[in-house]
Chains A and B, each alone.
Chain A
Amino acid sequence: MTTTHTEHKPTQVTGHTRTSGDVLFSIVNYSFFILLAVLCAYPFYYLIINSVSANDLSALGDVRLFPQGFHLSNFEQVFHLQGLPMAAAVSLARTVIGTTATVLASAFLGFMFTQERMWARRFWYRFVVITMYFSAGLIPLFIIMKNLGLTNNFWVYVLPFVVQPFFIVLVKTYVEGMPRELQEAAEVDGASVLRVFFMIYLPNMTPILATVAIFAAVTQWNSFQDTLIYVTDQSLYTLQYLLYMFINQANSLAQAAQNAGGNLGALADAASTQTPTSIRMTVSVLVVLPIIFIYPLFQRFFVKGIMLGAVKG
């Protein structure tokens, strides 16, 4: 799979004469997919055009097809909102640190579980993989996190994500497909297991690690539930959590809007004064933009990942 999309050549043998039924089907079929594509894409477009339109117009709901009174000052102004710069930093930090940790751990464990000499290897592999299929539940997990001192702690965003059985299975399958001789040759030369991993296997695993990285990064960036359950300290709120609060707290948001506007003093006019709508739209765009940009670039990795996962079951 080398192209950006699922490589499926039209499988049907073409060449038979097209009947009018065929033509009708094609028209209906194409229209159906155009409709679906619009249903999926328009909401994103709607958020974006509203975030760059005059704030008085967006508050009235008048921006529907094209931006009106185009301006980009919202993106600067939302950063005056209390807590937002911090939340953006937390979201970014957990995505970068969490993803790095997950990728390295998955690579290492996926590789190590192919080492047949390891003591009780099969047992430990099952010990890890079986955790995919059960969960103690939300409350016991909360109490344990609390006992471990991980509530209101940044590391609650990272540590539970380090060992992820699904990724380990993906990497292990991949490593099993790599030539064994790589390791044997290096060991003849006296290289240790760690050296073999870092110098030989890690650099040759990039395709599967890219898949893992994308999945992990999207999960980290989108994560909301862990903030909800484990965090009350406002300095650890994420963008997702802040957005959720902004949607639900219209009153406090209006207050926040005024405060943010106040920073600009006399410069503020109706088109650039923050409104609850403009704040929500702008924060939403901040939340979704990284996904939209990264997504088409890495779509092929997603596809590859889900296929490998499907093969393993």
Chain B
Amino acid sequence: MSSPTVVTEAVTTTIDHAADTKGRKRADKPRRKTSFKLFLLISPFLVLSFLFAYYPLYGWVYSLYDYKPALGLSGSEFVGLQWFRLLVSSPTQVDQILQVLTNTLAISFLGLATSILPLLFAVLLNEVKITRFRNAVQTLTTLPNFISWVLVYMIAFSLFSSTGLVNDILLDSGIITTPVKFLDTDQHVWLSMTLWSIWKGLGWGAIIYLAAISGIDPSLYESAKMDGAGRFQTMRYVTIPQLMPTYLVLLLLSVANLLNNGMEQYYVFQNAFNKEHIQVLDLYVYNIGMTGNSLSMATAIGMLKSLISVALLFSVNAFAKRVRGQSLV
């Protein structure tokens, strides 16, 4: 607040104190009215926020029922913790959920393991001194981030299906005699999903590091040069260490999101062949809830997932607070 305002406020306070109680009440009333009017102006939006973020939490009670949409909640049977017990006691259910968890964590860890790539991309792109070339690369590699997973799947389909471009070329050149099934296969599902994520997100992920590089104090580079550091030493001992704080923040956030892979990517790539290894938690919840009609079981699993995710976020945040003295969120 600028100093003139402070002075005005001080003056007002003095006047307020000088005035009698009756006068003060009279002065307060319109102020309180404005204050509430301001709240009323935003209240419709608060209602929307409540409806789409808070109110659905009430839907967690469906996990305690054997919910049948046709009967409504009141007509459905209350089963207590049956679904949660089933999750840990029914062998088929346990097997299924373990497989789903394995997929979820495997894909998430592959994501964590490759999360350094955007940083390296940025460091290497920074070594490109031709501005036009650098801008062109940035534009082209960022584009995939802005298309939908449906379109990514369309691209995958036209390039990698059994009649797709890659198979055509391999067949034409005589390297193979029967088409390779890149998409309709249960092999390397986690890896191919990770590769598609990288294809889509690498250039975009690098932007934040490129911006961070432009913020590095030039004197660091000057002293590195004085000390006789070459190009690689400068990259290794100046640029990369300077980017580490940004990298660690993003890494911690992805740890908090270990269970949240989203479902869109896996849904569009899902087929009868790869189903076992592509089903991550989000997709599993959709599959059993929306197509399998086990709405209550799906709610129970989704609820556990949400709770664990929030707990992870809190832990990661507390960790960041202790280590860097600053919270993430």
Footprint of B on A, CB under 8 Å? 4-14, 16, 19, 22, 25-26, 29-30, 32-33, 36-37, 39-41, 43-44, 46-47, 50, 61, 64, 105, 108-109, 112-113, 115, 117-121, 124, 127-128, 131-144, 146, 148, 159-160, 162-163, 180, 193-194, 218, 221-225, 228-229, 240-241, 243-244, 247, 277, 280-281, 284, 287-288, 291-292, 295-296, 299, 302-303, 306-307, 310, 313
> Would you call B234 an interface residue if the criterion is a C-beta within 8 Å of the partner chain's C-beta atoms?
yes
Closest 7 interchain pairs by CB? A140-B59, A137-B302, A8-B214, A136-B56, A222-B148, A131-B53, A118-B38
Bound together, the chains give a CA A128 to CA B61 distance in angstroms of 23
B280, chain A: closest CB distance, angstroms: 13
A138-B298, A224-B148, A228-B267 as given contacts; A37 in contact with B140, CB under 8 Å: yes
Tell me the B residues contacting A by CB distance below 8 Å: 2, 5, 31-32, 34-39, 41-42, 45-46, 48-49, 51-60, 62, 69, 121, 124-129, 133-144, 146-151, 153-155, 157-159, 163-165, 168-169, 199, 202-203, 207-208, 210-211, 213-214, 216, 218, 221-222, 225, 230-232, 234, 239, 246, 249, 263-264, 267-268, 282, 285-286, 289-290, 295, 298-299, 302-303, 305-306, 309-310, 313, 327-329
Given contacts A137-B303, A224-B149, A224-B150, contact A11 B214 (CB under 8 A): yes
* Shortest CB distance B298–A (Å): 5
| B139 and A296 within 8 A (CB) | yes
> A30–B132 Cα gap in the complex (Å)?
13
Q: In the complex, which residue of chain A has the Cβ closest to the Cβ of B228? A: A16
Q: Are B51 and A12 in contact, CB atoms less than 8 angstroms apart?
A: no
Contact B208 A310 (CB under 8 A): yes
- When C-beta atoms are compared, the residue in chain B nearest to A141 turns out to be B56
Residues of B within 8 A of A240 (CB): 148, 150-151
- Pick 22 A–B contacts, CB within 8 A, sort by A: A5-B135, A5-B139, A25-B127, A29-B128, A33-B128, A33-B133, A37-B137, A109-B42, A118-B38, A118-B42, A120-B39, A128-B46, A140-B303, A142-B289, A143-B62, A148-B51, A223-B148, A225-B267, A247-B153, A287-B151, A288-B151, A307-B211
Residues on A with C-beta less than 8 A from B38 are: 112, 115, 117-119, 121, 193
Contacts of A46 in B (CB 8 A): 155, 158-159, 165
Q: Which residues from B are CB-within-8-Å of A194? A: 41
Would B49 and A131 count as touching, CB distance under 8 A?
yes
Known pairs A112-B38, A140-B56 / 5 extra A-B pairs, C-beta < 8 Å: A113-B42, A137-B302, A137-B303, A139-B295, A243-B154
A41 touches B140 (CB 8 A): yes
B-side contacts of A163, CB under 8 Å: 45, 48-49, 52
Which residue of B is nearest A10, CB measured? Answer: B129
Q: Which of A7, A22, A40, A281 contacts B144 (CB 8 A)?
A: A40
CB pair B57 A225 closer than 8 Å: no
Complex-state Cα separation, A14 to B45, whole angstroms? 54
* B126 and A284 contact, CB distance less than 8 A: no
Q: Shortest beta-carbon distance, B234 to chain A, in Å?
A: 6
Distance in angstroms between the alpha carbons of A139 and B292 in the assembled complex:
12
Q: Given contacts A118-B35, A127-B46, A138-B286, is CB(A159)–CB(B214) below 8 Å?
A: no
Least distance between A271 CB and chain B CB atoms (Å): 19
Q: Are B143 and A40 in contact (CB under 8 A)?
A: yes
Whether B36 lies near A119 (C-beta < 8 A) is yes
- Closest residue of A by beta carbon distance from B242: A11
CA distance A136 to B300 in the complex (A): 11
User: Which residues in A have their C-beta under 8 angstroms from that of B121?
Assistant: 36
Q: A40-B144, A124-B42, A224-B148 are in contact. Are A139 and B124 (CB under 8 A)?
A: no
Q: Which residues in A have their C-beta under 8 angstroms from that of B158?
A: 43, 46-47, 50, 277, 280-281
User: A112 → chain B, closest Cβ, in Å?
Assistant: 5
Q: Which residues of B contact A50 (CB under 8 A)?
A: 158
Residues in B whose Cβ lies below 8 Å from that of A124: 39, 42, 46
Q: When the two chains form their complex, are residues A8 and B56 in contact, meaning their CB atoms are under 8 A apart? A: no
**Please, how many angstroms separate the alpha-carbon atoms of A36 and B137 in the complex?**
8
The docked-state distance in angstroms from the alpha carbon of A147 to that of B153 is 33
Which one of A109, A241, A247, A307 lies within 8 Å of B45 (CB-CB)? A109
Which one of B34, B125, B137, B306 lies within 8 Å of A135 (CB-CB)? B306
Are A291's CB and B146's CB within 8 A?
Answer: yes
Known contacts A41-B143, A46-B159: does B302 contact A244 (CB below 8 Å)? no
Task: Tell me, in angstroms, the Cα distance from A26 to B129 when the chains sit together.
Answer: 10
Q: Is A299 a contact of B142 with CB atoms below 8 Å?
A: yes
